[in-house]
Amino acid sequence: MKTFDVAIAGGGLIGSSIALDLARAGLRVGLFDKQEPGLEASWASAGILSPAPESPAMIGMVPLGKASMALYPEFVQMVEEICGQSVGYRAKGTLEVVTSRHVREELSTIIALHHGLGLRAEPLSAADARELEPSLREDVEAAVFRPAEACVDNRLLTRAIIESARKSGVEVFANHGVDAIWQEGDICKGLVAGSEKISAKHTVIAAGCFSAQIHGAEPYAPVRPAKGQMISLRCPEARIERVLWGDEIYLVPRNDGRVLAGATVEYAGFDKTLTAGGQRKLLNAAIDLVPAFEKAQLEEAWAGLRPDSPDHLPILGPADMQGLVIATGHFRSGVLLTPVTAKLIREWITLGNVSENWERFSPMRFEAARKQTHASAN
Ligand X SMILES: Cc1cc2nc3c(=O)[nH]c(=O)nc-3n(C[C@H](O)[C@H](O)[C@H](O)COP(=O)(O)OP(=O)(O)OC[C@H]3O[C@@H](n4cnc5c(N)ncnc54)[C@H](O)[C@@H]3O)c2cc1C
Q: Which residues bind ligand X (CB under 6 A)?
A: 9-15, 32-35, 37-42, 44-48, 177-178, 206-208, 210, 213-214, 228, 230, 262-263, 304-307, 328, 330-336
Residues 6 or more apart in contact with residue 373 via CB below 8 angstroms: none
Residues 6 or more apart in contact with residue 174 via CB below 8 angstroms: 11, 33, 35, 36, 37
| Separation CA 287–CA 374 (nearest Å) | 51
The alpha helices in the chain, defined as continuous H runs, are: 13-24, 41-44, 62-83, 103-116, 126-132, 154-167, 276-289, 338-351, 364-377
Categorise residue 219: left if φ over 0, alpha if ψ from -120 to 50, beta otherwise: alpha
CB of 329 to ligand X, least distance (A): 8
Residues 6 or more apart in contact with residue 317 via CB below 8 angstroms: 325, 326, 344, 348, 354, 358, 361, 362, 363, 364
DSSP code, position 90: B
C-beta closer to ligand X: residue 15 or 190: 15
CB of 105 to ligand X, least distance (A): 28
C-beta closer to ligand X: residue 121 or 251: 251
| Helices and strands, counts by H and E, the chain | 9, 18
CB of 311 to ligand X, least distance (A): 15
C-beta closer to ligand X: residue 46 or 140: 46
DSSP code, position 146: E
CB of 257 to ligand X, least distance (A): 19
C-beta closer to ligand X: residue 36 or 237: 36
CB of 276 to ligand X, least distance (A): 18
CB of 70 to ligand X, least distance (A): 15
C-beta closer to ligand X: residue 61 or 107: 61
CB of 229 to ligand X, least distance (A): 7
C-beta closer to ligand X: residue 35 or 255: 35
C-beta closer to ligand X: residue 126 or 312: 312
CB-side neighbour CA atoms (13 Å) of 73: 5
| Separation CA 30–CA 16 (nearest Å) | 10
C-beta closer to ligand X: residue 274 or 364: 274
Question: Would you say 245 and 300 are in contact if contact means Cβ atoms under 8 Å apart?
Answer: no
CB of 27 to ligand X, least distance (A): 19
| Separation CA 177–CA 207 (nearest Å) | 10
- Residue 241, classified by CB atoms within 10 Å of its CB into exposed (0-12), middle (13-18) or buried (19+), is middle
CB of 371 to ligand X, least distance (A): 26
CB of 102 to ligand X, least distance (A): 28
Quote the radius of gyration of the chain (alpha carbons, Å): 21
Selection from 317, 318, 322 nearest residue 186 by Cα = 322
Pairing of strands 29-32, 2-9: parallel
Instruction: For residue 169, give the amino acid letter.
Output: G
C-beta closer to ligand X: residue 103 or 298: 298
C-beta closer to ligand X: residue 166 or 332: 332
